[in-house]
Amino acid sequence: MKQFNINKLQNSLRVKFLKSKVNMIAPETIYFSKDTKIGKNVTIEPYVVIGSKVKIGNNVIIKSFSHLENCKIENKVEIGPYARIRPGTTLKEGSKIGNFVEIKKSTLGKKSKVNHLTYIGDTSIGKSVNVGAGTITCNYDGIKKYKTRIKDNVFIGSNSSLVAPITLAENSIVGAGSVITRNVSKKSLALTRSQQLEVKNYKRKSK
């Protein structure tokens, strides 16, 4: 009986959003909450789960296998596929969250992009920021959570670790593969990388 009631609720919510012109591909695979709010011209691809307290603006695209809960999605945002938007997150207008990205208790500024394989937690990100693949915010030391602040127009190279608490000032750049532990000033390049070694004419040991 309980499963029947859940299915009945989901079907009624799907019908409600279809009537309000939400574009759902395979609506039978999409799950909503009773308090889900969705604006105009929104597209939701198959196998998306929308938990409680989610508000979605206009002209939003949510791609397959994404999970959203207790978050605010402003206009013209693109999410997924395979994205997890956790509680306390706001995605500002024109921002983009790509595949295999998790974001928690953070704000992503207008036209900023976090495209792949990244964890963002307890972070404020400004406008027009690019976060490279494999970047993580190291926000937890096992006891306490710490804040990361990334200002406008920052470029973060792939496979970088940002050890909070930390601030990256406007127009700064983090070189790929860096572990950043101190604040980065405006219009500067921060880079931590071991020197590359090369052994000429190297021969592997034979078995």
- Given the residues 96, 105, 116, 127, select the one marked as catalytic: 116
CATH number of domain containing 9: 2.160.10.10
Regarding whether 146 and 63 lie in a shared domain, the answer is no
Write phi, then psi, for 153 (nearest 5 degrees): 60, 30
118 in the same domain as 97? no
In a domain? residue 74: yes
How many degrees, rounded to 5, is the angle at CA 194 between CA 188 and CA 195? 100
Helix (H, G, I), strand (E, B) or coil at 42: coil
Q: What's the chain's average pLDDT? A: 96
3-state helix, strand, coil in the chain (%, to 5): 10, 35, 55
The verdict on residue 202 lying in a domain is no
Q: Which residues pair with 120 in a beta bridge?
A: 103
Boundary of a domain, candidates 39, 70, 105 = 105
Sequence letter at residue 170: E
As to burial, measured by CB atoms within 10 angstroms (0-12 exposed, 13-18 middle, 19+ buried), residue 60 is buried
Range of the domain at 143: 112-192
Q: Are residues 95 and 119 in the same domain?
A: no
205 located within any domain:
no
Q: Is a pLDDT exceeding 70 seen at residue 2?
A: no
Q: Write down the pLDDT at residue 205.
A: 84
The string of pLDDT tens digits covering residues 22-55 is: 999 999 999 999 999 999 999 999 999 999 999 9
Q: 67 catalytic, yes or no?
A: no
Q: Within a domain: residue 163?
A: yes
Domain count, the chain: 2
Contact 16, 10 (CB under 8 A): no
Same domain, 96 and 140: no
123-180 residue pLDDT tens: 999 999 999 999 999 999 999 999 999 999 999 999 999 999 999 999 999 999 999 9
Alpha-helical regions (H) of the chain: 2-19
Judgement on whether residues 54 and 135 belong to the same structural domain of the protein: no
Specify whether 100 is located in the same domain as 5. Answer: yes
Where a domain ends, among 83, 105, 127? 105
> 14 and 32 in contact (C-beta within 8 Å)?
yes
Q: Are residues 87 and 128 in the same domain?
A: no
117 and 51 together in one domain: no
- 8-12 mean pLDDT: 91
**Is there a domain that residue 28 lies in?**
yes
Residue pair 128/145 in contact (Cβ under 8 Å)? The answer is no
101 and 116 part of one domain = no
* Model pLDDT, residue 73: 98
Q: What pLDDT does 194 receive?
A: 87
**Contact of 27 with 45, CB cutoff 8 Å:** no
Q: What is the DSSP letter of 28?
A: G
- Asked whether the beta carbons of 92 and 74 are under 8 A apart, the reply is yes
Select from 70, 105, 140 the last residue of a domain: 105
- Give residue-wise pLDDT tens across range 54-97: 999 999 999 999 999 999 999 999 999 999 999 999 999 999 99
Residue 207 lies in a domain: no
| pLDDT above 60 (res 4) | no
One domain, residues 40 and 95: yes
Confidence of residue 3 (pLDDT cuts 50, 70, 90): low
